[in-house]
Structure 1
Amino acid sequence: MDHGSMSGMDMGSSASSASSSSGASSAMGMTMAFTNAHSTHLFSAAWTPSSSGTYAATCIFLIVLAIIDRCLVAFKATMERHWLVTHLNRRYIAIAGKTTEAGRIDGDPDAKAASLITAQGVEENVKLVHNIAHGPIPWRFSVDLPRAILFLFIVGVSYLLMLAVMTMNVGYFCSVLTGAFIGDLAVGRYIQWNEHNH
């Protein structure tokens, strides 16, 4: 090969590598834009609407999924309130030197033989405490396991909704927003009520 053909090959190969690198950089720097294509995949290639009807059904599914997400958040907030109230009602402290009502009856010479039944069944030398210092509730398997499972469902549904929005499909995006609006309209008061009462 002569020098002219070698330089021609070098220029051709450098031109092709430059065009491939510019193509790669344009693909990497591609801007995301919303689309309204009815054939946008949802979660997998198997879930691809093939008609306007299946696209509408997919959008309805996303609305329902977003409503379920808000309902799960409201349910968790309600359960947190329930677990807190249960914990507060479980707090007892011993009262040193306090005589029980049964002890006073036994010590009274004028009292007749009788039995005393309290709301708890047996009177104890304790006092119910409703206010405790601020801080986390102690770890309990019967509370923390259901809390973690509920949180797992909330995170799972939230990430599915995020993936639907990331398809950049206008219909999917609007469906998620619509479901979030309807869900919060229906159960948002439970979320806010529990947040303000903690």
Structure 2
Amino acid sequence: MATIFFTATSTALFSSSWIPQTTGQYAGNCIFLIAFATVFRALLAIRVNFPQVVDAIERRRRHGRIPSHLADSKTTIRPWRADEAIKLAFMDLILTGVGYLLMIAVMTMNVGYFLSVLAGVFLGSVIFNRFLATSTVH
């Protein structure tokens, strides 16, 4: 494995059968990585706000839509619930898997793949950082 960055357009991504043969396929891989990293930031925003998302879904299911000015904004410690813990664990599993796949793409040391992941994180941050504003997640 190369220990320096390089600019080849035929670098395998995730498996030996996923090798771009043309410049267009390489560009497609880069676009995929941008979208994948953006999805990672979206999943992170959902995970950080998971209790609020679950509460909003529950309220809507039970009472219909509640205007935001009537919603209770107090924060309390939530009781442990198995179904919620399993959903959180599944979300963490997905986040970890996506994060490791992005790390593998960067570890190819391909400049295009590296910049694509950075561009996706940037785009995802621009779009979803407002949902992460109260979080210490980076």
**Distance (whole Å) between structure 1 residues aligned to residue 11 and residue 91 of structure 2:** 30
1:21-36, aligned counterparts within 5 Å?
32-36=3-7
Residues 31, 67 of structure 1: alpha-carbon distance in 2 compared, 3 angstrom cutoff: closer
Unmatched runs of 5 consecutive residues or more in structure 1: 1-29, 87-129
**Distance (whole Å) between structure 1 residues aligned to residue 79 and residue 116 of structure 2:** 40
How far does the alpha carbon of each residue in 1:41-78 deviate from its partner, in whole angstroms, 9 at most, with x for none? 10111000101000000000000000000000001122
Identity %: 42
**Max Rg structure:** 1
Pair 1:38-2:13 in alignment: no
How far does the alpha carbon of each residue in 1:147-169 deviate from its partner, in whole angstroms, 9 at most, with x for none? 11111111110000000000000
Shift of 1:137: 3.8
Shift of 1:82: 4.3
How far does the alpha carbon of each residue in 1:27-50 deviate from its partner, in whole angstroms, 9 at most, with x for none? xxx971000001111011100010
**Distance (whole Å) between structure 1 residues aligned to residue 121 and residue 75 of structure 2:** 36
Provide the secondary structure at the position in 1 that maps to 2:91: helix
Residue aligning to 2:67: none
Whether the 8 Å contact between 1:73 and 1:154 is mirrored in structure 2 is yes
Which protein has greater RCO, CA pairs closer than 8 Å, 6+ apart? 2
How far does the alpha carbon of each residue in 1:74-111 deviate from its partner, in whole angstroms, 9 at most, with x for none? 0112213345899xxxxxxxxxxxxxxxxxxxxxxxxx
Match of 1:50 among 14, 18, 21: 21
Residue aligning to 2:41: 70
Segments of 4+ moved more than 6 angstroms: none
Whether the 8 Å contact between 1:34 and 1:170 is mirrored in structure 2 is yes
Unmatched runs of 5 consecutive residues or more in structure 2: 58-73
**Distance (whole Å) between structure 1 residues aligned to residue 16 and residue 53 of structure 2:** 42
TM-score normalized by structure 2? Answer: 0.78
Pair 1:184-2:112 in alignment: no
Provide the secondary structure at the position in 2 that maps to 1:192: coil
Q: How many residues align?
A: 120
Pair 1:157-2:98 in alignment: yes
**Distance (whole Å) between structure 2 residues aligned to residue 63 and residue 161 of structure 1:** 10
1:1-198, aligned counterparts within 5 Å?
32-82=3-53, 137-193=78-134, 195=135
**Distance (whole Å) between structure 2 residues aligned to residue 31 and residue 55 of structure 1:** 19
Residues 190, 145 of structure 1: alpha-carbon distance in 2 compared, 3 angstrom cutoff: same
Shift of 1:192: 1.7
Residues 35, 85 of structure 1: alpha-carbon distance in 2 compared, 3 angstrom cutoff: same
Q: Which amino acid aligns with 1:162?
A: M
TM-score normalized by structure 1? Answer: 0.55
